[in-house]
Structure 1
Amino acid sequence: MPDKRDPFRELDEFLERMNEQFGGIGRSLEPGLRQEIRVDVADHGDEIVVTADLPGFDRDSIEVRLDDGSLVLDATTESEATDEGEEAGVTYHRRERQQRSVSRRVSLPAEVLAEETNATYANGVLTVTLPKQSPDDAGGKRIEIS
C-alpha cells in the first residue's frame, strides 16, 4: 500500500528548496508569518548534528521535534508594543519589540534514533545531536542467498 501524501510537508520541502535556490527571497513574501532560522547540518558518520541560530529566545520557548524524517524547530517570543508605561519597577519611554515567531523544517539525510536524540541551547545557539539508525536498528535482517 503506498504511503499517504502529506501536501503540507511537500509544500515545506518545496519552500526550503526555493529558499536555497533564491537565497531567502521566498521568506520576504510572507512578512511576519515565517522568519529565517539559519542551520548547519553536519554528518559525523554515526550521528547527524544540526546547529541552529536562535538568538533572543528563551530555552522554554523553543520546540524541537522529529516528524516523518525531518527535524522541526519552532520558537516564539512575545512582548507588548507601547509608547510609555511601567513594568516591574522600570519606566519605559518606548517599547517596540513585539512577538516574533520562527519555524524551520530540516530534512534529515538519514534515518535517526529518535529516543537517543538530544538537544542543548546556549548563547542563542541550539545544537541537536541525532544518532543515525543502522540497518540492524531498523529491524532489518540480512538475508543469506543460498
Structure 2
Amino acid sequence: MMNVIMREIGKKLDELSRELYESVFPPIDMYEEGGELVIVADLAGFNKDKISVRLSAQNELIINAEREIQYIGTKYTTQRPLKIHKVIRLPVKIKRDSQVTAKYDNGVLTIRIPVDGSVSIKIE
C-alpha cells in the first residue's frame, strides 16, 4: 500500500516539475545590436512548425511551442516540457511597422526586432 502511495506522490511531483519547467523555460538571451533587439531562445527538441512567436500591444514578445514525446518502456521521470509559453517584456520601444525576423536553427530560435528611434547609417 505504501509503495502505491509513494508512486502516486512521485507522479504528482513529476507533473509539478514539468509545469515549472514549462513556465520557466526556455532560457533566453536578450541584447541590442545594430539598432535591433535580439532575443535568442533555446528550443531544442521542438519542430519549427510547432513554434509560434508574436508581439503583443503591451510591448511583449510571446513564444509558444508544443511537442509530443513518445516513451518506450517504463517511464520513471519526465522533466522535458511538452509545451512552452514564454512572455518576455521588451525593455525598449520597438518599431511596430518594420520587419521582424525569426530564424530557427539547430534548436535555437533567434528573433530580431528593430528598435524605435534607431537608424542604421550606411558608411560609404
Q: Sort the TM-score into its range (normalised by shorter chain).
A: 0.5 to 0.7
Report whether the alignment pairs 1:73 with 2:63.
yes
Distance in 2 of aligned mates of 1:55 and 1:99 = 11
The answer for the alignment partner of 2:85 in structure 1 is: 103
Equivalent position to 2:29, from 40, 48, 54: 40
Once the two structures are superposed, the pairs formed by residues 83-98 of structure 1 within 5 Å of their partners are: 94=73
Pick the aligned partner of 1:59 from 41, 48, 54.
48
Q: Could you tell me which residue of structure 2 aligns to residue 113 of structure 1?
A: 95
Partners of 1:80 and 1:53 in 2: CA distance: 21
Query: Structure 2 stretches of 5 or more lacking a match?
Result: 1-13, 119-124
TM-score normalised by L of structure 2: 0.66
The aligned length equals 97
On the 8 A contact 2:18/2:81 being kept in 1, the answer is no
User: Hey, which bits of structure 1, 4+ residues long, moved more than 6 A?
Assistant: none
> More relative contact order in 1 or in 2 (CA 8 Å, sep 6+)?
2
Name the residue aligned to 1:16.
Answer: none
- Does the 8 Å contact 1:78/1:99 carry over to 2? no
Aligned-partner SS, 1:32: helix
CA contact under 8 A between 2:65 and 2:83: conserved in structure 1? yes
| C-alpha spacing 1:95/1:50, structure 2 compared with 1 (3 Å) | farther
Q: Distance in 2 between matches of 1:99 and 1:48?
A: 27
How many angstroms apart in 2 are the aligned matches of 1:50 and 1:99?
20
Amino acid at match of 1:78: E
What fraction of aligned residue pairs are identical, expressed as a percent? 28
Change (3 A) 1:100 1:113: same
Which stretch of structure 1 is more off in the superposition, 71-80 or 95-104? 95-104
Q: Residue deviations 1:9-44, cap 9 Å, x none?
A: xxxxxxxxxxxxxxxxxxx9x533324110000111
Q: Which position in structure 2 is the counterpart of 1:25?
A: none
1:31 equivalent in structure 2 = 17
Q: RMSD value over aligned CA atoms?
A: 2.8
